[in-house]
Structure formats: structure tokens, C-alpha cells
Amino acid sequence: MDSPRGAADPAAERRRALETLLRTEIPLSAQMDVAVDSITDAGLWLSMPLAPNRNPHQTAFAGSLNALCTLAGWAMTHLLLEQVGEAGSIVIRRSSIKYHLPVESPRVAACCLPPREADWDHFVEMLPEKGQAKLDLVVEIAGDADDRPAVLFAGNYVVTGKK
């Protein structure tokens, strides 16, 4: 949606740019039909439709859920680098995932939470000093009415700075 007087919506442009980057740099995201839904101080939300990412039980396929969470962490790391005017190569070093509940929603949404302040401060200090830094991120996929996540993902991302 455009803002008044035909000016472009910066938030929408930012979402579109990130979605294009994901689809270009990580083609699996296009195959999964991943969308960037929201970028706020509270987190980054990516989503995918259930239909092409389902299993024989008509719930979300675990591999697709894992990929969506991994992509959310990668995208958050990219946005954080942009925020501080840095560039670098982002890779995931390790991750763990817990599947608490089946995911049946027609649109599956994952939220990558911002890093803890102390972790972020350390990351920002280490990248220029050492030429690389790591960042631990948590991604959740909503679950039941008790606010228990259906999926909980923890990823450790490493960025090697570009000189």
C-alpha cells in the first residue's frame, strides 16, 4: 500500500527487498514460497503457505519448518548487519529445534526474536576487531492458545566480515 501523495511505504520496500534477497541468495525460499511479513523492533516475521510445505498428515513438514526457522535467523542477521553498516558472509554454525505441536495453520509464521543486548554488543565489537563474529538467535512458530510455541529453534550464526 502506498502512503499519502503516492510516496512509497519504506517498511513495505524493506520487506520486499529482504524477500527478494532471500529468494535470490537462497532459492529454497522461493520454492517454499516464503514471504517477509513484518520487520519490527520486536522481531522479524517470515511465513510460508502450508500446502506446498505439508507432510502426509496434512501438517507442516518438519524439514520445511526447520528451513523457515533457519531462514528467519539468516534474514535477521542480515538486517542487523545492515543496521550497523556492515557486510559479511552469513552462515549457520549449529542449530537445535524442538517440535512441540503439529502445525496446521494454512499460513505458517515464524518469528525471529532480536538478540539479547549483551550478545548484540559483543557481536558488534567482535566483527570489526576479529573479522568475524557469532550471534545466537531464537525463532518461534506459534502454537496453542496458551502461547506455547509449536516449534522452538535456536541457531548460532557466524558472520565473516568483508573488508
Give the domains, in start order, of the chain with CATH numbers: 4-161 (3.10.129.10)
Distance CA 105, CA 142 (A): 10
Identify residue 26 by its one-letter amino acid code.
Answer: I
pTM: 0.91
Residue 2 has pLDDT above 90, yes or no: no
The band of 1, judged by pLDDT with boundaries at 50, 70 and 90, is: very low
Residue-wise pLDDT tens digits, 52-75: 999 999 999 999 999 999 999 999
The band of 145, judged by pLDDT with boundaries at 50, 70 and 90, is: low
Residue-wise pLDDT tens digits, 18-56: 999 999 999 999 999 999 999 999 999 999 999 999 999
Largest CA distance in the chain: 49
Enumerate the β-bridge partners of residue 45.
38, 111
Mean pLDDT of 132-156: 90
Residue 38: burial class (beta carbons within 10 Å; 0-12, 13-18, 19+): middle
Give me the pLDDT at residue 3, please: 47
Q: What is the CA radius of gyration of the chain?
A: 16
Q: Residue 48: name the closest of 27, 69, 79, 26 by CA.
A: 69
